[in-house]
Structure 1
Amino acid sequence: MASNAHLAQIHIAKKQLAMDDDTYRAMLKEIAGVESAKNLSVPKALAVLAHLKRRGFKVTSAKAGSSRPLDQEETSKKIRALWLFLHELGGVNNASEAALGAYVKRMTGVEALQWINHRQAQTLIESLKKWAMRFLPAAVTKLQQEIDAVGCTEEVKIEIARLLSLTSRGAFDPMQAAWEFMTDHLNHSKEKS
């Protein structure tokens, strides 16, 4: 699967090139044969990025003139993935690394993910999960309604019911698992039609 850094660049390119969702998904389908960037392999992600660069995407760092690489620690990857997930849910308008850096600084007083300690990383992860939970229940309900409208197999209904039963306590991880399962199911249904 593509790295979080590749996915972040693709989402930044989408915003920089002012691509609407339909155009973006059509481009992913044409270049890589997928409808969601999360389904990209590394070679396909690189092909998509090359295409976006040919269309005018300019790669920029968090600060102009900065050559600081993205932190590749697992906690930093998780923080970045949560940030992008919040963007997908509509909770974050700007999915860029610069916007994430501003959030990190506001929450921790530290300039970059590379410099946060374990306690600060955990604080960021938990705050992002709480933030996502403001949007996730409604997103899951909407996905369930979409699946009900298009129909699904009994097996899928049983799995959705199982996942939704785990979400009753309002915890992030089961809610995200339900969201991912339903999103994947809808994406596969759209690909078949």
Structure 2
Amino acid sequence: MLDRAILAKIHVAKKQLAMEDDAYRAMLQSVAGVASAKDLTVVQAEKVLAHLRKCGFTPAAKFGRKPAPARDRKALVSKIEALLADSKRPWAYADAMARRMFQVDKIDWCTPDQLWRIVAALQINANRHGS
């Protein structure tokens, strides 16, 4: 049975590409040999998704939830956000840095000094990779 997440992704692609129902069903028939997405196998679903990507479907990136910092940390969190965006990394990356560097589970709970160190580490990485 096909995973609901894959089926949902196919339907999101259909909506994003503004496909009419007739064109969508014709595409399913030509790409996977089925009349309905619910009849797809996992392999067929991957073929359909690959075809939809070729047609211009771009899945939304999941970057996570932005922290809500205290006023004294707002500028540092904004800088971290900018550095993460430049390197196309999610907020979970910054949380993982906080865990690794300071044994703090979330960036929300870091002290201003710890946030400065995360900014420095991200900036060093950006300089190293030419960002």
Structure 2 length normalisation: TM-score?
0.47
- The structure number with the bigger radius of gyration is 2
Which TM-score applies when normalising by structure 1?
0.32
Relative contact order higher in (CA < 8 Å, ≥ 6 apart): 2
More helix by share: 1
